[in-house]
Structure 1
């Protein structure tokens, strides 16, 4: 099956059904079910199911099975049903329009990233594994930086299908991490600083500058050179975004950026963010 966004072309339909069912079971209430029904034309089928909503209301053990039944029915393509029962699917395809509704309502990629990473990989692919997003998320989780997961999910989705989105999200990711390191929260005037200033202040806060507590330890000079080179790459993200290659400026005729350049910029941001999270964590020990 194919989809115009980030879903893999060779994904198995049963994986899609399972992913949607798991997310629905975790997130949906009665109103969500009916909204999904109205948007897909299955509202009557949902109401008439003998056990679905009842088992949800009563938190019955058989709810999971009924969710799978209904998800299979909703995601099967019209006109291709050949099963014997009213809630079975025997086709190799998925109704892409119905899936798009469920995906949007559930925030499926983000939910899978946090709760079912294997299914995320099965459906959307590990498109960002080589730029270190997994390591970044693991490090951020240790410090309780929940916002990093949201940025990482957007980067995963955008790196191939919307490089501008990936760059915009990478810039926001780095800003989020640096502000967390500096204890800058909220939207006050003290938080309105660009990446170069945030990098400089983070280096001072962590003792990585020449006058800092870590400024004379073995390898400190080489580390500063490496961080300086990395900072130049990271700063280019802001320049690319300001030039219209990244999201956030409302441009209607934005120039197209190639995936290789986007990956380079995003990789720099992810590497820098991971470093500063880990350096900050070391300071807390």
Structure 2
């Protein structure tokens, strides 16, 4: 998503839609804290950006919302207040806005229903607002945007790159039966590549983890058939990668705690 936001072609295409569009963005991350993935912080982030860009916008909003004079810390704002001020800020900017949201499926579970409602409101604000979101497949999001919004799957864009990466790995991966039946091995390689593409769901981290796992266990793998069987037993990309991300986050937190204990001594 960052590459998409920073790419000059994105700005060029948006300029065909409107002159000098305003871009707002927020990225959610599963390994972040619960607070960082909350609806409250998403609204704070989206509100801060137009306030930073709009000259005199803060003064206008202060006149419209008297409670702003009594808010000195972000935690004093309610989500209702944030939504009200955000919508008014967007209207007062008098410009069209494109909002990029990444990782919608990683919003905190307690806020999911409310967050989906917020996405629906943004979609209904067209043509003044364009919305570009990235998410793992989720039924509620499909219901909200699936029928009316164009979309593409990550695996449709990364298929060729993943295929090349796996083929290069298998070419360099020495096995005891390599060369015995070249045609059979080539057929199995194609089957492995297609399986990895399907299971990874376009997630390169999944591909990396699986290939590393095979590489580390190469001493106990005697054939490409065995490689295929091992991959077939693995969960699909989004499940495997999410689990790995959570485990890594726990490991980092444990390491930090241990370091704190060490320093405290």
TM-score by length of 1: 0.34
Query: Which structure is higher in strand share?
Result: 2
